[in-house]
Amino acid sequence: MKLTLKIWRQKDASSKGKMVDYSLNGVEGDMSFLEMLDVLNEELINKGEEPVEFDHDCREGICGTCSLQINGEPHGPDRLVTTCQLHMRKFKDGDTIVIEPFRAKAFPVIKDLIVDRSSFDRIQQAGGYISVNTSGNTVDANAIPINKHAADEAMDAATCIGCGACVAACKNASAMLFTSAKVSQFALLPQGQVEATERVQNMVRQMDLEGFGNCTNTGACEIECPKGISLENIARLNREYYSSSLKG
């Protein structure tokens, strides 16, 4: 098929960017979206132009590196997939596809379609862990039985890949779904209880410091999340936050 691509090009963080049109032939339905961009880049390189830079790594939907706002949606029109798993058969011959970086003040553009998501790392560093020494001298793994339902729920929250689609989709660029996933995982497990108060306070404080917006419960994040992380986690974060505020 033949496509028209409108792609955000920006030389570096301090330059002003703009949309640039490209037309691309010979795209096959079996290609993934990123393989389609590979084809474009190969053409650009052979023409002596600079290729379009975009983040990607595992290309199997788990590392969370790939991003891209495709036709106004993070990871494109398909559900429960990352951009690397989005296939071109979801598009038609003659389509125009608008490709932009994830937009948020807390995700500044580094180059073209690549953004800096280190704000996510800083939120995790503020408290996304259980303070246990890694020397191996812990109690036996089966010493504390954990209700299967709670363990499964913790796992569902823990599947977050940190891609930032929730922020990109949210009209407020809020990072609540991301932050709540980690808070929830630990809130659901007995091991996470000891530091629960400090954890939620510190992570929310860092989230605010990074300049993410406020959650207004539109639910866009849950729909666009490639891992289907549920809004229940945000409610749980809220509960954890209020109860920790009243305690502390």
Partner 1 sequence: MSALIKSSLARKVVMALSGLFLVFFLGQHFVINITSVIAPDTFNSWSHFMGYNPLVQYLLQPILIAGVIIHFVMGFALELQNRAARGVRYVSYKGSANSSWVSRNMLISGAVILAFLALHFYDFWFPEMAYKYIEVNPEDPTRYLVETAHKFEPMWRTLLYIIAFVLLALHLLHGFASSFQTMGVNNKFSSGIKTFTKIYAIVIPLGFIFIALYHHFNPITH
Partner 2 sequence: MGILDSKIPAGPLADKWTNHKNHINLVNPANKRNIDVIVVGTGLAGGAAAATLAELGYNVKTFCYQDSPRRAHSIAAQGGINAAKNYQGDGDSNYRLFYDTVKGGDYRSREANVYRLAEVSANIIDQCVAQGVPFAREYGGLLDNRSFGGVLVSRTFYAKGQTGQQLLLGAYAAMNRQINRGKIKSYTRHEMMDLVKVDGKARGIIARNLVTGEIERHSGHAVVLATGGYGNVFFLSTNAMGSNVMAAWRAHRKGAFFANPCYTQIHPTCIPVSGDHQSKLTLMSESLRNDGRIWVPKRKEDAIAIREGKLKPNQLKEEDRDYYLERRYPAFGNLVPRDVASRAAKERCDAGFGVNKTGEAVYLDFAAAIERYGKEKALTTGIHNADKNVITKLGKEVVEAKYGNLFQMYEKIVDENPYETPMMIYPAVHYTMGGLWVDYNLQTTIEGCYAAGEANFSDHGANRLGASALMQGLADGYFVLPYTIGDYLSNDIRTGTIPTDSPEFDAAEKDVTDRLNKLMGGKGLHSVDYYHKKLGKIMWNKCGMSRNAKELQEAIEEISALRADFWENVKIPGSSNGMNQELEKAGRVADFLELGELFAKDALTRNESCGGHFREEYQTEEGEALRDDENFKFASAWEYKGEPKDAVLHKEELVYENIELKTRSYK
Is the Cβ–Cβ distance between 106 and 211 less than 8 Å?
yes
Smallest separation (angstroms) from partner 2 to the CB of 122: 9
Q: Which of 138, 191, 193, 216 binds partner 1 (CB under 8 A)?
A: 216
155-194 positions binding partner 1, by CB under 8 A = 169, 171-174
CB-based contacts of 64, cutoff 8 Å, min separation 6: 82, 161, 162, 163, 164
CA–CA separation, 124 and 179 (whole Å) = 8
Query: Considering the complex, what minimum distance in angstroms separates the CB of residue 46 from partner 1?
Result: 28
Contact positions with partner 1 (CB under 8 A) in 3-32: 6, 8, 19
State both tokens at 106: 């807390």
Answer for which of 45, 105, 132, 151 binds partner 1 (CB under 8 A) is 105
1, 31, 159, 213: which one binds partner 1 (CB under 8 A): 213
- In this structure, the dihedral spanned by the alpha carbons of residues 49, 71, 117 and 163, taken in order and rounded to 10 degrees, is -120
Partner whose binding site includes residue 83, from partner 2, partner 1, none (CB under 5 to 8 Å by kind): none
14: partner contacted, choices partner 1, partner 2, none (Cβ within 5-8 A by kind): none
Cα(208)–Cα(122) distance, rounded to whole angstroms?
A: 11
Query: Tell me, what amino acid is at 213?
Result: G
Phi and psi angles of residue 23, each rounded to the nearest 5 degrees, phi first:
-115, 140
- Which of partner 1, partner 2, none does 85 bind, CB closer than 5 to 8 A by kind? partner 2
Between 15 and 216, name the residue whose CB sits nearer to partner 2.
15
- How far is the C-alpha of 9 from the C-alpha of 53, rounded, in Å? 9
Out of 1, 24, 44, 98, the residue judged to bind partner 1 by CB under 8 A: 98
Nearest distance in Å: CB 79, partner 2: 10
Dist. CA 198–CA 176, nearest whole Å: 17
Answer yes or no whether residue 120 interacts with partner 1 by CB under 8 A.
no
Coil vs helix vs strand at 96: strand
If one asks whether residue 94 binds partner 1 (CB under 8 A), the answer comes out as no
Nearer to partner 1, 55 or 100 (CB): 100
Give Cβ neighbours of residue 215 (< 8 Å, ≥ 6 apart): 170, 172, 174, 176, 234
Is there a contact between 178 and 171 (Cβ–Cβ < 8 Å)?
no
**Which residues of the shown chain bind partner 1 in the complex (CB under 8 A)?**
6, 8, 19, 69, 71-73, 77, 98, 100, 103-109, 169, 171-174, 201, 204-205, 207-208, 211-220, 223-224, 231-232, 234-236, 238-239, 241-242, 245-246, 248
